[in-house]
Amino acid sequence: MGTKMTDILLSNFNNLFRLEGDLNSHCQAIAKNRKEIEKLSEANKICLRDQIKNFLTNEHNLKQQLSLSIFHLSIYASYFHDEQIDYYIHKIFNKISGLENKNAFIYNLVTIGFRKNIPLDKPLAKIFNSFVMELKDEYSDLRLKYDVNQNKKTILLVSSQILSVSHSPTQLLLELYDALLELGFEVLIVQIQSFPPENKLPVIEPFKGNYLDTPEGFRIWDFDGKEVPIYNLAASHFKKSSLEDFFEILEKIQPGFMINVGGYNIFQEFIASHIPSLIYMTSSMLVPSPFSSLVSVFEELSSTQIKALEGAQIDSKKYKKIVSQAAQVDSLFGRKPASKSEFGYKAEEILLAVVSNRLDWEIGLDEIEFINKTLQTDPRIKFLLVGRCEDKLVTKIGRMCGPRAEFLGQITEIKTFLSMIDFLVNTKRLGGGGAAATAIGHGTPVFSINYGDVSSILPSEYLADNYTELLGLIIHHLELDKATRQQIAYSIFDQFPKFKDNVQKLIRALEWKHNKDRINVANQKSQSLIN
């Protein structure tokens, strides 16, 4: 079966390289069987990589077959990433026309990097910066009448995507909202839709925005009984009129600052060129930001990240670890865990869980082997996988690991679930910090591969360099009783700073940076007058 599928896959690729037959059908067939690429022999992988690079190097292909070039680039970036990827990304980006298409191209590359843990910081920083400058030129006549001496008690709280309380970035946004209100600020929450609403670009694993069906403008949003006024800006369609209407609102309220939860939002950057802004990162991946005043990061930038920013002419000094990414908030704190029976499990069963909405990309052969070995250590163990995934992955894990590996899909009451399980396990991936902090606050120990967001909030003794070490950590803690394990989690949680203190730090840092920039501008004007 494997040989036959390999032959079919390579045949489709050969037809693409020769530009023979129905090219769209060949692309669809490859996308459908993309998992087979990972199973190719090393010789076939090298051959396929070289053929893709030859195709991308051909100027005729770039002019006449741009869509196909983008498709090949997505495969190259996903499966054959090497140092030459920077060159091909720049080359293709410069050939793409239209703001919507460029936006989709960037987001698809961001998604590849995030899903597959591939470092694309250098090329993404350059093309994103270039894209922001292009948008500024396109909207050069759209200016905000903004008073730098305005009342700073109004905060603009922005996110690219607002979904539900089970969505970690949305939960963080709501926690920021509550904390800012408690500190005496007036807050306007804005969803600035920047994700492409549909994917028109041919990539092997396309990305498009997932949004609630909400009209543009002000609406009252309900979050489990909590009503919050939110302005929805459907900016991803690149309608200038939408931004014009929004700028009229901003001119009326004159917000003191803007805080953006997340990053890679072209429209937030455009607004940040008018209003003092801070990006509050929700993952450890690098986000290029030409105009924001400050970027609050998980960890201090590496030398590679600094070089990527500097290569894109972005000031790396404004990237600071202002606050801890894990903090004590009411929603993360619960000393009364749910019982296993509430979820249909027996008290004596040992429940381990992986929680992610990207299981298809984050659970590969190494992870499946780890799950299988974990199950073999104790017949009481059940390994629960929570989140979205394709049926193929469910079938594969069921075949390789048996019925004690269970897929639960998405769970609405995720906090309750995380308080009920025995351990939360984090594989090698970006993201997951919100779920980890929630589990710890509810008395559930968390173990992780020493990589990505979760590793930044855990003490070193709960981190592993590989899956063998991770299994060893689990086995060791299985010997402890439930109360002891809970106390371990609570002791970690007690070391987290108060969320309100974090928010105050963010505001103080933003105020300091804003005042410093105003002084520098004033000094420059004085110097120019003297000269």
* Whether residue 233 is found in the same domain as residue 298: yes
Burial status of residue 395 (CB atoms within 10 A of its CB: 0-12, 13-18, 19 or more): exposed
434 band by pLDDT with thresholds 50, 70 and 90: confident
Within a domain: 271:
yes
Task: Calculate the alpha carbon distances from 339 to 345, 348, 490 in Å.
Answer: 9, 11, 18
Residue 83: per-residue pLDDT: 82
Judge contact between 283 and 147, C-beta under 8 A. no
H/E stretch holding 231:
strand 226-233
How many Cα atoms within 13 Å fall on the side-chain side of residue 408?
A: 22
Within a domain: 303:
yes
- The residue type of 342 is E
Residue 96: per-residue pLDDT: 94
Q: Which of 215, 212, 234, 117 is nearest to 162 (CA)?
A: 212
- When mean pLDDT is compared across 63-67, 297-301, 371-375, the lowest value belongs to 297-301
The residue among 104, 138, 172 that closes a domain is 138
Strands lying side by side in the sheet with 277-280: 217-223, 226-233, 186-192, 154-159, 257-261, 277-280, 294-296, 319-320
Tokens describing residue 408 = 């639960």
Quick check: 47 pLDDT over 60?
A: yes
Range of the domain at 87: 2-138
Within a domain: 306:
yes
Within a domain: 531:
no
* Whether residue 488 is found in the same domain as residue 374: yes
With a CB cutoff of 8 Å and minimum separation 6, the contacts of 279 are: 259, 260, 262, 263, 268, 287, 289, 292, 294, 295, 296
With a CB cutoff of 8 Å and minimum separation 6, the contacts of 346 are: 340
Strands lying side by side in the sheet with 446-449: 405-409, 381-386, 350-355, 423-426, 446-449, 463-464
Token pair 């693409």 is at which residue?
16
Residue 310: per-residue pLDDT: 94
The strand ranges marked E within 281-432 are 294-296, 319-320, 350-355, 381-386, 405-409, 423-426
* Whether residue 185 is found in the same domain as residue 109: no
Give this prediction's pTM. 0.81
CATH classification of the domain holding 310:
3.40.50.11380
DSSP assignment of 232-294 equals EE-GGG--HHHHHHHHHHHHHH--SEEEEES---HHHHHHHTTS-EEEE-SSSS----SS-SE
* Whether residue 158 is found in the same domain as residue 255: yes
* Whether residue 128 is found in the same domain as residue 72: yes
**What whole-number distance in Å separates Cα of residue 313 and Cα of residue 290?**
8
Pairing of strands 186-192, 226-233: parallel
Token pair 């950057």 is at which residue?
269
Give the chain's mean pLDDT: 87
324 band by pLDDT with thresholds 50, 70 and 90: confident
Quick check: 12 pLDDT over 80?
A: yes
* Whether residue 369 is found in the same domain as residue 309: no
Tokens describing residue 477 = 């803690």
Q: What is the mean pLDDT of residues 445-463?
A: 88
232 bridge partner residues: 191, 217
Q: What is the mean pLDDT of residues 521-525?
A: 51
What are the pLDDT digits (tens) for 83-93?
889 999 999 99
Virtual CA dihedral for 124, 126, 130, 132, nearest 10 degrees? Answer: 50
Within a domain: 199:
yes
Please tell me the total count of domains within the chain.
Answer: 3
Quick check: 524 pLDDT over 80?
A: no
Quick check: 332 pLDDT over 80?
A: no
Within a domain: 34:
yes
